Structure 1
Amino acid sequence: MTVGASLATVLRVDVRSKEFRFCVLGPLRAWWNDTELVLGPPQQRAVLALLLLHRGRAVGVGELVDGIWGTEPPTAAVSVLRTYVSRLRKLLEPDRPVTGAPRLLVSLGDGYALRRDAVVGDIDLFEDLVGRAEARRVAGDDLAAVQLLAGALELWDGVPLAGVPGPRAEIERRRLEERRLAALETRLRIEVDLGGHARVLPEITALYEAHPLREALCELFLVALYRSGRRAEALDVYERTRRTLAERLGIEPGPRLRTLYAGLLSDGPGPVEVFGTEEPGPGGSSGASTSGGDTTGPPATGGTGGPGPAFADQAGGPEPDFDDDGAVGQDDPARPAGVVRPSQLPTDLAMFTGRRSQLEGFDALLPHQEHPRTALIGLISGMAGAGKTTLAVHWAHRIAHRFPDGSLYVNLRGYDPSASRMEPGEAIETFLVALGIAQQAVPEGLDAQAALFRSVLAGRRVLIVLDNAADTEQVVPLLPAAPGCLVIVTSRSRLSGLVARHGAHPLTLGPLSAGESLELLARRLGDARVDAEPEAARAIVGLCARLPLALSIVGARAALHPDFRLADIAAELRQDHGSLDAFSGGDLGSDARAVFSWSYRALSPEAAGLFRRLALHPGPDVTTDAAAALADVPARRVRTVLTELTGASLLIERAPGRFDFHDLLHAYAAELAEAEDDEPARGAALLRMHDHFLFGAHQASMVLDPFREPIPLPPSTTDVAPLRFNGRAQATAWLRTERYVLREIVAHAAAHGFDAHAWRTAAALDVYFNRLGYWHDLLEINTGALWSARKLGSVTGQAYSLCGLGVAHSQLNHAAQAREHLEAGLDLFRAAGHAGGQARAHRGLAYLCNRTDRRDEALDHYARAVELYRSEDDVSGEAGVLNQVAWTYILIGEHEKALEHCTEAILLYQEQDDPYGEASTQDTLGYALHHLARYPEAIEHFELSARLFHGIGDRFLEADVLSHLADAHLATGNREAARTALGTALARLEELAHTEADVVRRRLRELEPDQAEPGG
């Protein structure tokens, strides 16, 4: 279309301000400034493609090796990969000095990333246009949406990533093609809605012929034919689709397609009205408006509304206002502000083989879901190593398109050797957050959490995978009531209670058939190699008991040594008489060890040692840096060793730089550690691990709050290199990804005699866990920390732990417990003569008083805290309290007094050169001025606060202040300035993939020009 073409052309011109441009929606091409680059050999192009498609996120070395070469990497794959990276750096930055650091292709962790600020590509333009089209469609401007989608589709130049080799490129090709088809279907759907069915019918016909299994496309074809007066042809198309689905997939058409068919058969108006509902947007999800409810900003006068999610920590930020349920702000945080469509399924196994009859059996369940009374439950049980998780994930990917509201996944760790079984409440909490519920709004108690989970899922169609369940009791609270949902459960147990009481459809998974086992080997080793030694291949299958885990390990080892004869491999397995019968009983016996030991003995000594050390880690997964600490080797060296372990299928890289075991392999590694390493060696490894996490947590805490009083740390007795963070964003990212590990680390330290590490690690985590609302975690880690501190007889440790418990109980509205713990902590800090600790406890008590409407008592505690900070010349602590005093006066309604204390606090923060504290207080000052209706002044202070947070790199609090700024602009009647502020806030939240983005997006829609009242 003319408009779309001109739009795409304009965008291509606009991106010339970027140094580096690329195209993946066709052959891979790249330009530096205006010069097209010669991208080198195919594998080098594959490296570039993977980095580009990760959009600035780091890609681990192991992931790159697997993505480029699959199961048959060259012997020196890592070395070759680094050569490609070096060549790409020279290619992409020709003006970089030889000794200069890379600016574009940078090293991050154990991998590489392409910085996004100087890069733009056709995929970015495509996604931007599709997103804008969806926004225009929500606003009711269908014609503009069609034009934007046409422009997006014109960016395509053939097969995506044409000429790029490797299994990962093939996966990305399919994903990109799916995005194109979704956008094309949406454009055609809108055009049919606009009455253009006759014009687009030839295009729909050709698309249907090319993709006869796409039910959404068939729906579109039926409606276009019907509206063109061709009902009989529409009926023929339905029958053809039904037969195709049955023959190729063994399934019946979905409910919407059957409803359309019924409309065609009736004497009524046909499928027109049905087609007009629940239409997918450009990305395949609902395109209906999600706005609803108010987003109330600061009131002009009076009131007690808080300035959004700032927290009562030691950084001096204002305290939030809480309603009776402990929820922040005036909106209901337990109701998602917009449609959140989680997509949590692990990556499907590219080498998946067999299980056809089981898949067909499960597929046969789906048609019965048309009018269910409850959610459908599929249960996969079976012996360890039988491939339950692999089958569940593969089937989930195969049917995910039937669940438009997203997919959820959790590993319940029911048989984890470290006994770190996941509690149902913890799983529900992660699901609720993924579904858009604010962390702070997750209630206490399993019953309340399960009820909220069921409520959130009501009316939604979500696919849920509950992996590795221990028993029925662990699963039941996680079951939705929504009839449109499907739950897939895996367990070594049969979970008869789930079948009897909840109607689960059971499937007991045994070993692969002999044919499937040979097919798996052929996929790993190549048909030619298996066909050349058929007897040896069959012998290997028998010796591995046809179990996928064992076959994968043997296959990986054989693939890494293409010169090994299969007969020799079978002979070596026979030496250990490996039948793996012990798998069937759930215990790892001598026969099960045969296959594992065969791969273990082939490891280098360094890799074998790391394999044993990793079993000491409490989980749930381990990073490259933690592995380096356990092994006592540099991180750059341990990456190579980890690659050796993943290449041997003895370790799984779940995410870039994050590894875990199959639980059987974890048990085997633990057994080896017990047998081959003496107690001093194991103890030294554990000490290095706990040093790594203690010093890492401490460093992250100091980066987040550089002016807080440091926690006294013991001198390190190991050579562990402490982690270093370049800024708040990096420290926060580490804490976020390590959250569950850190919780396990504190518990492990308390249980294994590392008591000094336990309470100090917990104390270092309080700022982050409190700010992010992880209050149940605060309770858990400080309970263990208090136990350890008491064992040590450490008065200071007990005081810190008690204060941590007090803060957590305050946030959870346990006023009596909070006061008891905080007052006990205050007494211990007094006994120790610890002035800073006493001030900390007084601040906690003041916050509790504000939570329980005892403002005068809060001011008394703050006054005592100020005295204590002044006695220690702690200017930052004093400033933080003054900011909190100002906020207390705002709660009382004495805004002039609030201004006085804000001004004093800002001067102290400026004296300390503390931009974070000043930014928080400028926000409080702007809020007080807003309440006094001094809007121009409020705007100045909000703008200054936002600039300071931007300079610090705190995108979340910058967005929070920008929302306050928008409220101030609205109070002056300047809707355009408010839209600008909210637009910037939305961009910041989208950078973080934060759920608050939906709130801001809704407010922006409400401020659209066509939403304004006449004359407004």
Structure 2
Amino acid sequence: MELGPPQQRSVLALLLAHGGQPVSVASLVDALWGEDHPGSAVNLLHRYVGALRRALEPELGHRETGRWLIRGAGGYRFTADAATLDLLRFRDLMGKARSERDGGAERQAVHTFAEALALWDGPVAANTPAPVRSHTVFTALEREHVAAVNEATDLALRCGLPKPVLVPLQWVTSQHPFDEPSHSRLILALAAAGYRADALDVHATIRGRLAEELGIDPGAELRAAHEAVLREEPDQPQQEVHHETEPLVDAPMPAPSVMPAQLPRDLAVFAGRRDELDHLLAEHDDPHGATAVTLIRGMAGVGKTTLAVRYVHRIAHLYPDGQLYLNLRGFDQTGDVVQPEAAVRRFLDELGVPSARIPVGFDAQVNLYRSVLAERRILVVLDNARDAEQVRPLLPGSPGCHVVVTSRNQLLSLVAVEGARPLLLTPLSNVEAREFLTRRLGSRSAGSDPAAISEIIELCAGLPLALAIVAARAALQPLHPLSAVAQALRDTSTSLDSFSDADSIIDARAAFTWSYQALGPAAADMFRVLSLHPSPEIPTRAAASLMGLPVARAVPLLDELERGHLIAQYAPRRYTMHDLVRVYATELANASDAPEARRAARVRVLDHYLHSSFTAAALIDPHRPRITLPPMSEGAVVEVLHDRAAAQAWTTAVSPTLFAAVEMAGEHHLDDHTWRLAWAFDPYLDRNGHWHQKVIAQEAALAATERAHEVRGRAYVHRSLGYAHKHLGNLVRAAGQFRSALELYVELGDLRGEGRTHQNIADLCTKQNMFQQALEHEVCSYEIARVLGDQLMEADCLNNVGCAHSDLGDHDQAIVLCEQALARSRELGNRPLEAAAQDSLGKIHHRAGRYAVAVGYLGQALETHRDLQDLYNEAVTLRNLAAAHLAVGDKRSAEDCTRLAATVLGQPLPFTLSAASAS
């Protein structure tokens, strides 16, 4: 069911979270928009409710009444009971379980508790914007869930029935990585279920996390749970002969291999703003004090970013550990606002933190970001912030850093809570505006007609953006007197209504229109069509595709737009357009260009990204199975990528645009592009651990495949969603997606897809310690590979089946199978699979107590990974090898391997041996 845009989905989530109770209009407005809500908030809310009614009850048409969403008591409520709303069903079952427990039927109560907890299949309000998810009604539900899991676990442990609560406990601890009480219960429950090695591994993981990210030791409850597991020393079930190893050394958080230096270029023609700049410099705190936050606010186009860039360049030398810059796009007309989760993840990537080290939960990522910045002096620039909630997670938590924020909004809570020092920018004074034009036109030209200069300043109302565009156009027409420029501005001056809002009341259309009308016809066409690009960053070949022109003909048009200050080149042959100019270009496109022409331009640019990303994907992973592509539209051009390195660099550079392209294709129901773009973009998200983005992209792809009746594509999307949910800890959702994929592959008769899905399900079973079920699925995948005659898949499956036997304690059989996998991989010349089999054999011999043999196999795997330049798996094998060296008493070699593992990726790996051996 399509529930509309994020704010509309948020309305439904808020009403559902209140469990049938009415919610006032004021409360809904506050939850959706906070203190900066628009004047039309109430009307928008009514529209959202109307749209939700029609989505939930299509038969209503446009009537205002319905069964589910009811108006009353000064607001709205969602009529529900335990039969229609999981939240109420959950609470009913919890009440029933407590009654059974209190009545003496404790074992039955455990199963009723488990039935209640099974109704939770993901984060609360998962598909709503971050500011809404942080609302107290949702955080209260999260706390209710955690308390319910802990209550159920306490009874399950008392009754000796720990297994029914293991999955809910694992979910809670994955979402709350610093929750010591829940982790303590998980340790006890795993040990009671016979998974003692995993219990000790959980303790080692949280102990390391607390030390590395918070600088504290485990509390009394965690210590007690750990000691209880060590004291009991129960007979281990056959499937749990794992040998866990604590980290051998505490590797410090190293500095990034490349110091970030991301400040935009400072303008050579900067003029005016002396008082404001002096004020900022005077207020700049001692860098050894608390983290300082400077807020520069003002209307659109008033020069906030220009002043911020000049200021941070003046103080950059005080921050020797680097500078981070991010345009948060808080007012982007496409709605492509950078969410806090994406911003934190991007900064972690740019600070050199490997994907393997980055935790799943947003709060944990924020903590890691602040840990990386601790003891460092870094300058952080957050441009175009929408609100305080978008900024707050990006604030460092320790002294020595400085943050500069620009925004059109007041961000009062940032000032009140975080102590930000605000500076309000107003349009340039007449003196400053005259200096501005003199710097750009030259003193002789600017001084030739003072009256015309004064009129230009008045018509541009001192707005730097408008003045810059006028000055650029005038400089390109030196034979035109300034009086003619002023006259042209008067002739084109009209009210730019779409720019008028609470923060921007300047009449900027005159400058834009005059500059636009001076363009050649082809450059004017280019200007309008650039507004259709899916993101603000526009590469040259994407621009050429939008126009349907060869690159050689597109470049002069882009140069003409740049000379007129209608676009800016922020990197070689990569352009961006100011928000106001983009709005103006969009208005022109909507008014001047036919809908068919705009749609054709969108298709061409999506073809550019689709075919370019397929080329990149083939270079990065030539063994990945391919899907068919539709022919590329006439006029679209692709990126020129010669090798794997170029493909990886291009994909990384345009990754935000690829994500936006998936969303744009979905919004315009260009279904073939939507799911194929998501397919091509998928490996990048996997390699970098962008699981939340992967879910969003694949959900758009899922809707597209359903609309297009693309069954094979839908099967892949279900598999991909399952993979993402598994990494996010949403194990119930992951299982559901894998089941859907398996059903579709069976329906299609696609044996290869069916076999790969069995492997996914086996991996999920292993993650839940369901080793027998994992073996069954791995064997099923192996049998399919044999039927297909796919020798490479068969060798891969043999290795996985062997590991599954080892998980069940049958190490001898595991060794036979993995040795067969190793022999076949060598026959086929597949070195990555050869290294995987060598690593598996090393781990299995270690589990079986044959440590010297383990050292031999792991040494071979290490050499193979190094030959392949597979850094991640090299580090994994080094950690396994460290454990094997330690087992034979070679502590020095063990320490060397551990240190080297940390050096290979620039970070210590986020798991102990037993976690690695289950991977």
Contact between 1:383 and 1:584, CA under 8 Å: does it hold in 2? Answer: no
- Which residue of structure 2 aligns with residue 384 of structure 1? 300
Residue 577 of structure 1 and its aligned partner are, at CA, apart by: 3.3
Q: What's the TM-score, normalizing by structure 2?
A: 0.65
SS across alignment from 2:461: coil
Equivalent position SS for 2:786: helix
Aligned equivalent of 1:707? 623
In the TM superposition, what is the alpha-carbon distance from 1:402 to its structure 2 partner?
Answer: 3.0
Alpha-carbon distance, 1:858 to partner: 1.9
Q: Aligned pair 1:343/2:294, yes or no?
A: no
Q: Deviations over 1:518-563 (max 9, x none)?
A: 2222332333433344444343333322221112222223334444
Q: Relative to structure 1, is the Cα distance of residues 759 and 534 closer, same or farther in structure 2, using a 3 angstrom cutoff?
A: same
Matches of 2:249 and 2:497, distance apart in 1: 52
* Closer/same/farther in 2, CA of residues 336 and 425 from structure 1, 3 Å limit: farther
Give the residue type in structure 2 aligned to 1:943. E
Note the C-alpha offset of 1:431. Answer: 2.6
1:943 matched to 2:852? The reply is no
CA–CA distance in structure 2, aligned partners of residues 563 and 977 of structure 1: 77
Q: Distance in 2 between matches of 1:542 and 1:580?
A: 16
Distance 1:388 1:332 in 2: 50
Tell whether the 8 Å contact from 1:334 to 1:441 is kept in structure 2 after alignment.
no
User: Aligned partners of 2:637, 2:786: CA distance in 1, in Å?
Assistant: 36
Query: Is 1:861 the equivalent of 2:797?
Result: no
Whichever residue aligns with residue 360 of structure 1, its letter is: D
CA gap of 1:877–1:730, structure 2 versus 1, over 3 A, is farther
Aligned counterpart, 2:278: 360
CA change 1:444–1:932 in 2 (3 A) is closer
Check whether the contact 2:292–2:401 (CA below 8 A) recurs between aligned residues: yes
Distance 1:438 1:506 in 2: 35
Percentage of identical aligned residues: 41
**Higher percent of residues as helix:** 2
**Whole-Å separation in 1 of the counterparts to 2:418 and 2:505:** 34
Q: Given the alignment, which residue of 687, 691, 696 partners 1:775?
A: 691
Paired residues of 1:615 and 1:669 also in contact (CA < 8 A): yes
Match of 1:412 in 2: 328
**Distance in structure 2 (CA, Å) of the matches to 1:529 and 1:812:** 62
State the one-letter code of the partner of 1:822. Answer: F
1:826-876 residue CA offsets vs partner (Å, 9 max, x unmatched): 112111222222122112111112222223322221221222233333333
Partner of residue 829, structure 1: 745
Q: CA deviation at 1:958?
A: 6.5
Deviation (angstroms), 1:818: 0.9
Residues 1:723 and 1:410: Cα distance change in structure 2 (over 3 Å): closer
- Which letter maps to 1:933? A
Q: CA deviation at 1:386?
A: 0.5
Aligned equivalent of 1:756: 672
Aligned pair partner of 2:729 in 805, 810, 813 = 813
| AA of the residue aligned to 2:616 | A
- Map 1:874-885 → 2, pairs under 5 A: 874-885=790-801
Residue from 559, 572, 590 that aligns with 2:475: 559
1:651/1:660 contact within 8 Å kept: yes
Any idea what the Cα deviations from partners look like across 1:186-221, whole Å, max 9, x if unmatched? xxxxxxxxxxxxxxxxxxxxxxxxxxxxxxxxxxxx
Aligned pair partner of 1:479 in 395, 404, 417: 395
Q: Please say if residues 323 and 380 of structure 2, whose CA atoms lie closer than 8 Å, have aligned partners that are also in contact.
A: yes
3-state SS, counterpart of residue 467 of structure 1: strand
AA matched with 2:751: A
Contact 1:842-1:861 at 8 Å conserved across structures: yes
- Structure 2 Cα separation of the partners of residues 932 and 895 of structure 1: 13
Counterpart among 434, 438, 441 of residue 522 in structure 1: 438
Residue 423 of structure 1, CA deviation? 1.5
Residue 513 of structure 1: aligned partner = 429
User: 1:711, CA displacement in angstroms?
Assistant: 2.3
Matches within 5 A, 1:666-681: 666-681=582-597
- The alpha-carbon distance between structure 1 residues 441 and 813, as it changes in their structure 2 partners (threshold 3 A), is farther
1:881-912 C-alpha deviation (Å, 9 max, x unpaired): 33444554565676665554445445554555
After superposition, the Cα gap between the structure-2 partners of 1:544 and 1:965, relative to the gap in structure 1 and judged at 3 Å, is farther
Deviation at 1:596, TM superposition (A): 1.3
Verify: 1:613 aligned to 2:522, yes or no. Answer: no
CA contact (8 A) 2:756 2:781 kept: yes
Q: Distance in 2 between matches of 1:720 and 1:871?
A: 42
Structure 2 residues without counterparts, runs of 5 or longer:
1-195, 213-244, 910-919
**Which whole-Å deviations, capped at 9, do the CAs of 1:283-319 have from their partners, x for residues lacking one?**
xxxxxxxxxxxxxxxxxxxx999xxxxxxxxxxxxxx
1:640 and 2:560 are equivalent in the alignment: no
In structure 2, do the counterparts of structure 1 residues 558 and 912 end up closer, same or farther at CA, with 3 Å as the change threshold? Answer: farther
Aligned equivalents of 1:649 and 1:707: distance in 2?
Answer: 46
1:205-604 → structure 2 map (5 Å cutoff)? 337-340=253-256, 342-367=260-285, 372=290, 375-444=291-360, 446-577=362-493, 585=501, 591-604=507-520
One-letter code aligned to 1:749: A
Query: Aligned equivalents of 2:415 and 2:538: distance in 1?
Result: 35
Q: Output the CA distance in 2 between the equivalents of 1:883 and 1:693.
A: 37
The equivalent residue for 2:153 is: none
Change in 2 beyond 3 A, CA 1:367/1:588: closer
- Counterparts in 2 of 1:388 and 1:905: CA distance versus 1, 3 Å: same
CA distance in structure 2 between the partners assigned to 1:333 and 1:572 by the alignment = 72
**TM-score with structure 1 length normalisation?**
0.59
1:474 CA displacement: 2.5
Deviations 1:486-530 (A, max 9, x none): 322211122233333443322111112222222222332333433
Deviations 1:922-944, CA, capped at 9 Å, x for gaps: 55556667874234554344323
Q: Give CA-to-partner distance per residue, 1:72-130, whole Å, 9 cap, x none.
A: xxxxxxxxxxxxxxxxxxxxxxxxxxxxxxxxxxxxxxxxxxxxxxxxxxxxxxxxxxx
Distance in 2 between residues matched to 1:647 and 1:601, nearest whole Å: 14
Q: Deviations over 1:427-463 (max 9, x none)?
A: 2222333345443554455555445544554554433
> For residues 921 and 586 of structure 1, do their structure 2 counterparts lie closer, same or farther at Cα, with a shift above 3 Å needed?
farther
Return the alpha-carbon distance in structure 1 between the equivalents of residues 640 and 204 of structure 2: 36
Coordinate RMSD, CA, aligned: 4.0
Q: Is the 8 A contact 2:722 2:735 kept in 1?
A: yes
Contact 1:386 1:511 in 2 (8 A): yes
* d(CA) in 1 for partners of 2:716, 2:461: 54
Conservation of the 8 A alpha-carbon contact between 1:345 and 1:408: yes
Residue 729 of structure 1, aligned match among 619, 626, 645:
645
Alpha-carbon spacing, 1:936–1:496, altered in 2? closer, same or farther (3 Å)? closer
Distance 2:588 2:434 in 1: 31
| 1:173-212 matches, cutoff 5 A | none
Match of 1:682 in 2: 598
Alignment partner, residue 906 of structure 2: 997
Which amino acid counterpart does residue 586 of structure 2 have in structure 1?
Answer: A
- Contact 1:802–1:824 under 8 Å retained in 2: yes
Q: Secondary structure at the match of 1:738?
A: helix
- For structure 1, the residue ranges without an aligned partner over 5 or more in a row are 1-302, 306-320, 990-995, 1001-1016
Q: 1:675 to 1:904 in 2, by over 3 A?
A: farther
Contact 1:709/1:836 (<8 A) preserved:
no
Q: Which amino acid counterpart does residue 569 of structure 2 have in structure 1?
A: E
SS of the residue 1:380 aligns to: strand
Name the structure 2 match of 1:216.
none
| Structure-1 separation of matches of 2:883 and 2:444 | 69
- Contact between 1:923 and 1:945, CA under 8 Å: does it hold in 2? no
Q: Which residue of 1 aligns with 2:719?
A: 803
Report if the CA contact (8 A) 1:353-1:519 is conserved.
yes
C-alpha separation in 2, matches of 1:523 and 1:853: 70
Mapped to 2, the partners of 1:583 and 1:541 lie a distance apart of 19
Instruction: Return the offset for 1:615.
Output: 1.0
| Deviation, structure 1 residue 684 | 1.0
1:933 to 831, 834, 852: 852
